[in-house]
Amino acid sequence: MMAATGQLLVLFIILHVLGNSTIYFGWLNAYAAHLHALPPLLWSFRLVMIALFSLHLFFAIVLTLENGAARPQPYLVKKNLESTFAGRNMIWTGAVIGVFLFYHLLHFTFQVTNPAIAAVRHPDSLGRPDVFLMVARSFQNIGISILYIVAVIALWLHLSHGIQSSFQTWGLNSDRSFPVVKGGSAAAAIILFIAYVAIPVVIVTGILKR
């Protein structure tokens, strides 16, 4: 369940950043309008994502507790040979992502944290909620940009271990397949990190303007 829900969440992460990338071409408002054109379908999708995230979180907590119970006494001497920083801190990077996700939904989905720049209050020239304006003004705030960048760093660490771990769960851990899985997971995590972090960076630095 951890592997299955994790891989479905990664698929959403990929689709989400592809949609966000329409900001570079001036299509963000149109993209957002299309997403909200069918509210029942949109809310059905959101409920599915909530269920996936909840299951992933539940099993993460269960596995962490089981791992702790399996060895209640700590090692007198501990030397990490194969484990990585990302792998040893999955529960904490996951916690950072979870807290950030709650803020992110309040910020851009429900638009309650910064009501003065909410897209629903500022229609564009075609009468659509001006999502571009909301995103641009948000990331022009250095504090908000730093918050998002920190969250994306946590996501990168989580994915760098989580993707390869999920494929190992399906049995792709032989001497031949594992190096490919490990390298591909690291590459995917880096690409997604760059794709997500680029948006606040190009806005706060003034590279992207309307």
158-161 LR contacts (CB < 8 Å, sep 24+): 158/86, 158/90, 158/93, 158/94, 158/97, 159/10, 159/13, 159/185, 159/188, 159/189, 159/192, 159/193, 160/84, 160/86, 160/185, 160/186, 160/189, 160/190, 161/84, 161/86, 161/87, 161/90, 161/185
End-to-end CA distance of the chain: 43
* Candidate from 56-60, 68-72, 84-88 with smallest mean pLDDT: 68-72
Report, as an integer, the average pLDDT of 87-116.
95
pTM, full prediction = 0.92
Give the DSSP letter of residue 207. Answer: -
- Please report, for residues 110, 115, 202, the alpha-carbon distance to residue 106 in angstroms, rounded to integers and kept in the order given: 5, 10, 23
Report the range of poorest mean pLDDT among 9-13, 69-73, 132-136, 173-177.
69-73
What pLDDT does residue 79 have?
Answer: 64
Is residue 64 predicted with pLDDT exceeding 80? yes
Hey, what domains does the chain have and what are their CATH numbers? Answer: 2-204 (1.20.1300)
Provide the pLDDT confidence category of residue 81 given band limits of 50, 70 and 90: low
**Backbone φ, ψ for residue 36 (5° rounding):** -95, 5
pLDDT class of 3 with cuts at 50, 70, 90: very high
> What pLDDT, on the 0 to 100 scale, is given for residue 171?
86
Amino acid at site 176: R
Average pLDDT (190-199) is: 98
Residues recorded for the chain: 210
Return the percentage of the chain with pLDDT > 90, whole number: 82
pLDDT at residue 200 greater than cutoff 70: yes
R_g of the chain computed on alpha carbons: 19
Is residue 80 predicted with pLDDT exceeding 80? no
The pLDDT tens digits of the residues spanning 143-179 come to: 999 999 999 999 999 999 999 999 999 888 888 888 8
